[in-house]
A and B are shown apart, each in its own frame.
Chain A
Amino acid sequence: MAEKKPDYASLKKGGFMRQKQKGYFSLRLQVVGGNLTAENIRTVSEVADQYGKGYVHMTSRQGIEIPFIRFEDIEEVKEKLSEGGVKPGVCGPRVRTVTACQGSAVCPSGCIDTYALAKELDAHYFGRDLPHKFKFGVTGCQNNCLKAEENDLGIKGGMIVDYKEDVCIQCGVCVKACRENALATEDGKIVIDREKCNHCGRCVKSCPTDAWEGESGYIVSFGGLFGNKIYQGETLLPIIKDKETLFRVADAAIGYFEENARPGERFRLMLLRIGEEEFRKVITGAYYGRD
């Protein structure tokens, strides 16, 4: 096999983190939505045994790193990994790993299919070069196992709920299941206080007669930061009902970041510098389908 020279410039982009120990790299892998196949894991295990020190490190964002990869082995390792369907991740100023909880495919509480969405977001945005790193996280419901608001753009599954009086048997379950105290019994029927409803979907999930109908939606938060500085992502839009709108909003947010941030400036810090007003206009426009 012809000797392959590692391309230094792409090393970091390609997920190779220089270690404190000279000549060694910790290889970050691309994991989408926190899922890996058994084959992926076998491959990772073999690489860690053969080229690393026989262990892996789990990152805080559902990633895996294989530490102690020698510089001269990098190309071989990449090849070996790709045979097992594993790709290196990315570091640096670009869109990072899209994280996700298990969502509605597995979790009874899930309002959206988080993994499917994470894969779509990954296909759209992963690795896109930007002024600074940009993180997406997808969580299936208000339980927020995936901590949506830590991300530059967080997506949380929700439900827009609707009551059908004719099938309600007045069992009272939903009134207690609602943790926002948005539901009450009045004159033999259930009334909802929309101001209090946070779209958690618990009424839908608990109603024995499906008198609560739920339409899945996306609650999006912007500008989360959880590093040297800590900011909670803010929900600046009403719940989004369809994926087209979601992607339009995400495109608008990323585009705004790309145009307005200084190199090395995170999304939130850009908003703090120039103010949120213009950004709100841009994403509100995208939400309503205006250019």
Chain B
Amino acid sequence: MDEIKFDEQVDITDKVCPMTFVKAKVSIDELEDGEVLAIRMNDGEPVQNVPRSMKEEGHKILKLTDNEDGTYTLYVRKVEE
């Protein structure tokens, strides 16, 4: 599979809900419209909920990849309001 190009990355595996979402949101807020953020997150609750929260914030989800180490990376394109 093609690697997705991204502009910034953030690791939220050190956070628990609701700080997972907060850290991801702060990171994406710093990007320019159209830039892509790679968010590394834990399996379980974060991977079930963070993608949806990003969608609800109005951003564009591109891909979720399994890193096969108990973490996933979500690629999100920033959509400015």
Binding site for B on A (CB under 8 A): 108, 169-173, 176-177, 179, 202, 205-208
Contact = CB atoms under 8 A, between A and B. Distances in A.
Contacts of A207: 55
Interface in B35-81: 43, 47-49, 51-52, 55-56, 60-66, 72, 74
A172 B56 contact: no
A173 B61 contact: yes
A171 B63 contact: yes
Given A108-B56, A208-B55, A172 B48 contact: no
Nearest to A204: B52
**Interface SS of chain A:** loop
Interface of B: 43, 47-49, 51-52, 55-56, 60-66, 72, 74
A172 B64 contact: yes
B72 A208 contact: no
10 contacts: A172-B65, A173-B61, A173-B64, A176-B48, A176-B51, A177-B49, A179-B48, A206-B52, A208-B51, A208-B62
Nearest to A109: B52
Contacts, number: 42
B18 to A, nearest CB: 13
A12 B63 CA distance: 60
B52 A202 contact: yes
Given A172-B65, A176-B64, A177-B52, 9 more contacts: A108-B52, A108-B56, A173-B51, A173-B61, A173-B74, A176-B43, A176-B51, A179-B48, A205-B52
A184 B63 CA distance: 15
Given A176-B47, A176-B72, A171 B52 contact: no
Nearest to A170: B63
Contact of B48 (A108, A169, A171, A177): A177
Contacts of A205: 52, 55
A172 B63 contact: yes
A200 to B, nearest CB: 11
Contacts of B66: 172
A194 to B, nearest CB: 21
Contacts of B72: 176
A237 to B, nearest CB: 28
A170 B51 CA distance: 14
A140 B16 CA distance: 25
Going nearest first, the 4 A-B pairs with the smallest beta carbon separation are: A208-B61, A206-B52, A172-B64, A173-B51
Contacts of B49: 177
Contacts of A202: 48, 52
Nearest to A175: B64
Nearest to A206: B52
A108 B58 CA distance: 13
Contacts of B74: 173
Contacts of B63: 169-172
